[in-house]
Homo-oligomer: A and B are copies of this chain.
Amino acid sequence: MTTDANPLLSDRDVDFLLFEVHDAASLCALPAFADHDRGTFELTVQTVRRLARDVFFPALRDTDAAPPALRDGAVALHPKMRAMFEALAEAGVLSATRPASVGGQSLPALVATAANAYLCAGNASGAGLAMLTTEAAHLIESFGSDELRARYMHDLYAGRSTGTMCLTEPHAGSSLGDITTKATPRADGTYNLTGSKIFISGGEHDLTENIIHLVLARIAGAPEGSRGVSLFCVPKLRPDGDALVDNDVRCAGVLHKIGWRALPSVALNLGEGDDCRGWLVGTAGRGLAHMFQMMNAARIGVGASAAAVAYAAYQESLRYALTRPQGRALSGRDAQGPQVAIVEHADVRRMLLRQKAIAEGALSLVLAAARQSDLAEHGADEAQRARARRLLDLLTPVAKSFPAEKGFEANALAVQVHGGYGYTSEYLPELWMRDQKLNSIHEGTSGIQGLDLLGRKVVAGGGEALAAWSEEVTLTVTRARAAGVSAAWCDALDGVVAEVGALTIELAARGLAGDVDGMLSHSADYLDLFSTACVAWQWMLQATAAQRAKGAGRDEAFYEGKLRAAQYWFATEVPRVALLARLCREAEDSYLRMAPEAF
């Protein structure tokens, strides 16, 4: 707590999450991170948070207020977007997690995610453009030919170009198997691309000379559906001898988004003049599978941004509540006395603690997923890597959707704490609320995440991911008991693990018996239930660390706050698990029975 300027995230908390909860230092024992120690991690976080506070956040209002427009086929970004992008490219943020062989620092995703969360809290649009660029480069690094790597990867990692992901078409968003953009083979091994893409973030701008589009398209003659989709690298400007020439990628319009306004989301027409060249990335027909590397990273990125945007607004409303006088204590009401700060009112504290429980719980969940991605890629042996891959796969839809869904509720509470002032654009919470709303939509809606979780992730490999998750959570409870955390919370979380396991087996059996609709009809409730459980797990981890640390005379209030947020989650949210499980189990059929004409 402080009444200073909004810090975006609490430094004490980020330190706590990285080193007391998620044990970042232990990652240094892995060969991939051997050059690092806690000191280099802290230095990185410090550099990025300074960028967030000095460059990103001060630009937030301006970049929101003046969104770019399309003029003569070009889109001029706000000058402060350039300042942000150049600063983070210079600081090496774009390639931080990549190995030295491609110019990176081999930073664990755990640390990079925590650091980048400051950027998201300060300016989600600016951070979003960075994430797209990093992951476009990473896709080329993983699947591109040597030629493509040489031509584009380094420029992207260095911020001399930016990247995009071109998936959605006007008629195909959630349903990617239905895309129709066509790739016709040419004699020289390249392809002629024709088609229309929409909602392409950063699809046109004047920040860098070139823009590298990673495009899903269908090679002429490929089978229908997902199996016919391939991945292409389609630069805005293509090489022609030593020169770069126009590659017939036209910006057809800029969407008028209600948030993320500094980062243009555009419609692109490829090959209007039949002169748009694409280079196959990876294997033909494996486009969706390849793109999932970028999509999965983007999903964790969306979750991180959502947690951060909820977090910054929580900090803003906390500062307002600490300084805004209004009313008096209910007991001992005294019209003569001075008004009290609104933080003294129970209901304001409720709104603050709910925000804290959501934002800090969400950030912890995202970091847990990031840690698994480090182990999945760099774990000590294949057994550790495989287990981490399973956990990462399982956690991805949750780490993507929980921060978005509950984060939006938290952002609305930050507006509410500000009262009438919160309803004006003179205050920032409404801006963060607008930015937040995108996160339940892009990179797979929450509905898609629910289907992914229940229809794929928890049942994959005979439920091996869920088994690993149960082990993790159970181990967390064992440690919590040993540390002296409330037995009631420990019992409750043990109960939740058992409930999740039993329910999932029942639902899987229903699906195996052929009743797929019945199995999946409550996928949203299942996602809500599993998310609540995952965040309870995160609060158990945090409560354990807090319980261990408190009483030593250092940061007592901080640790006390962590225990109260955990208490809130176990009292208020965990009991919902039983209600949600019942809806799933009984396949409550109110909406399944609704004929369209009955609405």
Contact = CB atoms under 8 A, between A and B. Distances in A.
A172 interface: yes
A326 B423 contact: no
A484 B329 CA distance: 49
Interface residues of A, number: 98
Given A330-B517, A575-B579, A416 B445 contact: yes
Nearest to A224: B335
B412 A346 contact: no
A265 B156 CA distance: 48
A440 interface: yes
Given A173-B326, A441-B423, A561-B598, A592 B339 contact: no
Interface string A455-475: 100000000000000000000
Nearest to A420: B199
A418 to B, nearest CB: 9
Interface string A340-361: 0101011111111100100000
A349 B592 CA distance: 7
Nearest to A350: B591
A225 B232 CA distance: 71
Contact of A255 (B177, B343, B426, B575): B426
Contact of A558 (B255, B351, B598): B598
A225 B335 contact: yes
B561 A353 contact: no
Nearest to A594: B564
A331 B516 contact: yes
Interface stretch (A32-40, A282-290, A566-574): A566-574
A548 B565 CA distance: 49
A442 B425 contact: no
Contacts of A225: 335-336
A593 to B, nearest CB: 6
Contacts of A257: 423-425
B178 A591 contact: no
Given A225-B335, A583-B572, A599 B1 contact: yes
